[in-house]
Amino acid sequence: MSTPRHTPATRAEVETILRCGPPRRVPLFLPAIYEHKAWFIGSTPSAIARDGNLLARALLAEYEAIGPDALAVGVDVYNLEAEAVGCTVTFYEGDDTSIPGISPGNHRLHVGDDLTAAPVPNPLKDGRMTVNLEAARQVRRALGDNYWLRGAISGPFSLAISLVGAEALFLACYDQADWVRSVLAYAGRIIKEFAKGYIDAGAELIVFDSQASPDLLSPAMYEEFVLPVTQDLVQWAAAQGVRDMPLIIGGNTTSIAGLLAQTGANNLLCDFTADFDEWAAACREHGRACRRNISPRLIQSATPDEIYAVAVEELRRGRDLPGFIMGTGVIAFGTPVENVLAIKRACLDAAKE
């Protein structure tokens, strides 16, 4: 069954949902498409991640094929800030569709390093920040100011792991707490510089910090280390005029739903492994929009009708939740377009009820 085209949400419609205003007739649909962007133009993640023109083409092709209610400028979203201060990223040539990643053991910092004079990158010239900013400018020109375009930035804890290494940083949380706070503050300074570039390019922001998931970091440690620096980032963004800030932390985040609501970010993620009812209660209490994800494995391997049925059920559960958004986990490269469109079809059909 084909999915009829519809006009994506306007900026004002998206902002209304993020601020838990009256629901839109057609629920917002925000699929998580990053490396899969390359598939729309017959390219690879490594190719579009290094070329602003290619990335812009891929973003516009995603817009034409899927018609999402927002686009995110980003491919390997956790690597750019770390690369800009000296971490090496492994890319793949030819037809290899692997996702670029920080090279193993290639960390810039060691526990205890003095960070008072640590370098902060210039987003207009350092690393591949320039690639994403050029793509953002091109897409903004092509789609106009009335479409919600988001620039991907790392969250502080995830960037700190890229700079220090996961094991070293986790151990430091136990015996060098002050230094951990200093490296998180440094990560925050780097992220803010990249964010300034996006803002100047006409994009909104979206923060990815999945390394801070309870699957890896205890709720107590999240509250002690990550919450304060995330609150600072959200408050800084608000001072730059960015009123709406999505915070993306994947995995089963049920145990920190209340803490995430305290970050100030007003669009939070209830991933497919998280408890929707508990998340809905937290979002109601704090007045936060909630994006509910469908499993990317299901989207990749099930039939469109099976995916549609799951989407219908999730939409039913979120029907009365202010700020409800239909989303997906990260769509795998090469996922059939009709599988993604099955979720959009469910959103369109929900408007008929």
d(CA 326, CA 292): 5
DSSP state of 78: T
Q: CB–CB of 107/87 below 8 Å?
A: yes
**Is residue 351 over pLDDT 60?**
yes
pLDDT at 5: 60
Mean pLDDT of the chain: 96
d(CA 52, CA 129): 10
Strands in 71-73's sheet, in edge-to-edge order, are 29-32, 324-330, 289-294, 267-270, 246-248, 204-208, 149-154, 71-73
The string of pLDDT tens digits covering residues 68-87 is 999 999 999 999 999 999 99
Phi, psi (degrees; rounded to nearest 5) at 26: -95, 120
**Percent of the chain with pLDDT strictly greater than 70:** 98
Q: What is the mean pLDDT of residues 8-30?
A: 95
**Is residue 4 over pLDDT 70?**
no
pLDDT at 158: 98
Which domains are delineated in the chain?
11-350 (3.20.20.210)
Task: Count Cβ atoms below 10 Å from residue 74 Cβ, excluding itself.
Answer: 26
Q: What is the mean pLDDT of residues 21-46?
A: 96
Q: How confident is the model at residue 352 (pLDDT cuts 50, 70, 90)?
A: confident
pLDDT at 1: 47
The string of pLDDT tens digits covering residues 252-270 is 999 999 999 999 999 999 9
Amino acid at 184: L
Q: CB–CB of 314/294 below 8 Å?
A: yes
Q: How confident is the model at residue 131 (pLDDT cuts 50, 70, 90)?
A: very high
Task: Count Cβ atoms below 10 Å from residue 82 Cβ, excluding itself.
Answer: 26
Q: CB–CB of 55/37 below 8 Å?
A: yes
Only one residue has tokens 């151990």, namely 171
d(CA 101, CA 269): 23
- What is the bridge-based pairing of β-strands 149-154 and 71-73? parallel
